[in-house]
Amino acid sequence: MDELIYSVKEVFSDFLRKELTGYYNIPEYQRGYKWNEANIVALLNDIEKFRQETGNAEATFYCLQNITLVKNTNANCFHVVDGQQRLTTLLILLSFLQHETDSTPLLLENKLQYSIRPETHEFITKQVLTGHIWEKETVPERKDQYYIREVARSIQAWFKENTATDKGKFLEILLSRVKLIVNVVDDKEEKIFSSLNGGKVNLDGADLLRAILMTRAAKEKYHGTSATSEVREFRIRMGMELDLMNLWFGKTADYFKQFISDQTIGMARINRFDFTTLPINLLYLLYYEYRRNEKESLNFSFFEYGKNSNGNPDDDRWEMYLELQEMYAILQRWYNDKELYHYLGFLFFNFKAQTPFRDIYTQWKALNSRDKFLKDIQHTIATRMLDRYLEETEKAAPDYQKCLKTMTEAISDFRENWYNNDKELYQILILLDIFRILDSKSIKKLPTDYFTRKSGQKDGEDKEHILSQTPRKDNGEIATIKTDWERFAQSEDFKDIRSQMQEILNHSDAELTEQELTQLQNLLNSAGLNSIGNMVLLDLRINRSYGNADYAHKRTIIFQEYMNQKYVRPHTLAVFMKGDIDAREATGIPLNRWTLEDIKRNTDKITKEIGKNFNAWLTQNN
């Protein structure tokens, strides 16, 4: 593990000697050289910036990412499975600098060969290594020779433009402090090449960061000592710790990926921080969100040199590892705390865009109190939910108690059409699930994918009327036949408005008009059928299994699903299985019935529960 990372000089000398090989071979299945002016200029700018910022700090280095090699003992060489672009570019750049500074070119002689393109090998040997390519006009005969010439000219032009850059010092930096992660693998090289380059994927960010942590952070921890055995033992322990973190994030990935902004997730896909393959990348992405400044992008260079919090530049990678450990421990605590798990989950799943992880994490560290932090999270949920009730002119100085009054009035109003208020309806119903879970010792955590309404044609869920809103055809469309509506009106559930429904039906023909259907629906709505007290969230597989059945039939199917270990939301289950038993016994209403009176009672209960909790959340921080 001591030699995972090698300087450019070591890559072309000591590493080959140590491995008893003579050169790197670009095998026949590799594509030709493809770097251009933009690629080489970006690299030169990066190295120059690194040189200026780090000065003579020998402990720091610039990582040119990785090369992947397979040893060929018969040919006394390494086949380059991934990294030929980097090695060829380094050879061109080193040749130029050695030519300009009169340094010996022996370091590069016969160190890079092309199996399938002997003309390219000859071009590099006769034109690049000799320096002729910078002294006279060269005519490429093949495509990769053209790219080699373009890069060579671009290097020369860059140094002419950057006259303040000392070529000798730049060469020293390039040889000793520009490094590569050397990945030697034992497998069939064609198989490895296919997996790496079939999708043009290099080592993942987690692989690169692991190499940095295990080589550099461990040395920084024991800086100034000769405790080689302690360093090695610590690296073994660190490797085990990183593996355990990766396993844990694999189990919790669906939860914590919602804590990460969409922008960062997009950058993770582009820059190979794939948390589906290596879940520990979630920790690195969250660390990036916490530590980044406005100008920093998510890439390997963000982590490469560690982070300096204590003013000592010699232990920055070790500092970063300690901060990653701390964040991991905090995230574990959040996940294992029943209240924090549910309220943080609800906040990030429903209001991620308005809730940067950095703010929440900073809040936790600043408060240093679990209970105060929980109150702050609850307060944030309340204000996020109530923001929709603010007028534009009120946002500068919001009166959330006034908003809460408006919200609870809307919940308690039987005539309020919650069926068409999807987002707020879903959020309130999910909060009711959370309240029931937290009030019970036996109900397990809300599954991760239930913090919002599940989408999907097969395994999604949708809002459902507890008491059917209208008679419907088999295809789900509203029935238009008069006799269907007359049977519907005869139900005991609608005895309070039966006469009004019948009056509309008495004046209709065999098929109802749109106006008559609208009148009937408005009447039902006024009785509370679209109120929040008559709404639940239900999996589509359950919903579709009973069509437009009555409450008793729905209740039977939901109970069967629950007994068969199918997940049913706690609030939905409570409505269909228990309801308000005491009140039912007092009124003589059987448990397999759901009436307009039940809707009113359930609406009132929801109003009180939301009002009580939100009022407490708004006032507990005052």
pLDDT tens sequence across 198-228: 444 456 788 888 887 887 787 788 775 556 7
C-alpha neighbours within 13 Å on the C-beta side of residue 401: 5
pLDDT at residue 148 tops 50:
yes
On the question of pLDDT at 581 being above 60, the answer is no
Torsion of CA 314, 317, 322, 324, to 10 degrees: 160
Domain boundary among 306, 336, 366: 336
Same domain, 121 and 244: no
> Among 389, 387, 298, 395, which Cα is nearest to 351's?
387
Entry pTM:
0.69
DSSP codes joined into one string, 346-414: HHHHHHGGG--HHHHHHHHHHH--HHHHHHHHHHHHHHHHHGGG--GGGTTS--HHHHHHHHHHHHH-T
Q: Say if residue 277 is in the same domain as residue 325.
A: yes
Residue 79 has pLDDT above 90, yes or no: no
397 domain residue, yes or no: no
pLDDT of residue 202: 53
Judged by average pLDDT, the poorest of 100-114, 176-190, 354-368, 483-497 is 483-497
- 88 and 166 together in one domain: yes
* One domain, residues 467 and 595: yes
Task: Report yes or no on 205 lying in a domain.
Answer: no
pLDDT digits (tens, 9 = 90+) for 17-35: 888 888 888 877 677 788 9
| Percentage above 90 pLDDT, the chain | 36
User: Does 342 fall in a domain?
Assistant: no
Q: Residue 348 falls within a domain, yes or no? A: no
In a domain, 317, yes or no: yes
Question: Does the structure show a pLDDT above 80 at 507?
Answer: no
Question: Which residue is associated with the tokens 């749109």?
Answer: 514
With beta carbons less than 8 A apart as the criterion, state whether 238 and 262 touch.
no
As a whole number of Å, the CA-based R_g of the chain is 34
Distance from chain centroid for Cα 214: 25
Residue 599 and residue 471 share a domain: yes
**Torsion angle in degrees (nearest 10) through CA of 213, 321, 203, 37:** -90
Best-predicted range by mean pLDDT (98-107, 141-150, 592-601): 141-150
Degrees to nearest 5, angle at CA 145 with 144 and 146: 90
275 and 315 share a domain? yes
**Nearest in space to 231 (alpha carbons), one of 209, 216, 211:** 216
Within a domain: 548: yes
Q: How far is Cα 153 from Cα 423, in angstroms, rounded to an integer? A: 59
Higher pLDDT, 557 or 486: 557
For residues 162 and 270, membership in a common domain is answered with: no
Co-location of 14 and 91 in the same domain: yes
pLDDT of residue 191: 47
- Containing structural domain, residue 34: 5-199
Shared domain for 316 and 450, answered yes or no, is no
For residues 67 and 111, membership in a common domain is answered with yes
Confidence at 3, pLDDT banded by 50, 70, 90? low
With bands split at pLDDT 50, 70 and 90, how would you rate the model's confidence at 471?
low
Residue 396 lies in a domain: no
Which contiguous run of DSSP H or E holds residue 539?
Answer: strand 535-539
Say how many domains are in the chain: 3
Which range is least confidently modeled, 80-84, 238-242, 323-327? 80-84
Q: What mean pLDDT comes out for the span 588-600? A: 73
Determine whether 386 is exposed, middle or buried from the number of CB atoms within 10 Å of its CB (0-12, 13-18, 19+): buried
Residue closest to 596 by CA, chosen among 485, 424, 469? 469
pLDDT digits (tens, 9 = 90+) for 266-298: 998 888 899 998 999 999 999 999 999 888 888
* Residues ≥6 apart with Cβ < 8 Å to 174: 8, 47, 90, 93, 94, 97
- Label residue 2 by pLDDT band (50, 70, 90): very low
Average pLDDT score over residue span 4-29 = 85
pLDDT at 371 over 60: yes
139 and 226: one domain? no
With respect to residue 387, please indicate whether it lies within any of the assigned structural domains. no
DSSP assignment, residue 551? H
The torsion angle over the Cα atoms of residues 338, 343, 349 and 354, rounded to 10 degrees, is -150
Per residue in 161-196, pLDDT tens? Answer: 999 888 989 999 999 989 988 888 765 544 444 444
Mean pLDDT of the chain: 83
Residue from 275, 265, 221, 272 nearest 245 by CA: 275
Instruction: Give the pairing of strands 77-82 and 62-72.
Output: antiparallel
Mean pLDDT of 441-460: 85
b/e for 253-270, b at 16 or more Cβ within 10 A?
Answer: bebbbbbbbeebeebbee
Is 93 in contact with 174 (CB distance < 8 Å)?
A: yes
Question: What is the spatial distance between Cα 387 and Cα 395, in angstroms, rounded to a whole number?
Answer: 8
Predicted confidence band at 197 (pLDDT cuts at 50, 70, 90)?
very low
Q: Examine the domain organization and report whether 490 and 602 are in the same domain.
A: yes
Ramachandran angles phi, psi of 2, nearest 5°:
-60, -30
Q: Give residue-wise pLDDT tens across range 515-533.
A: 877 777 777 766 677 889 9
φ/ψ of 585, rounded to 5, equals: -65, -35
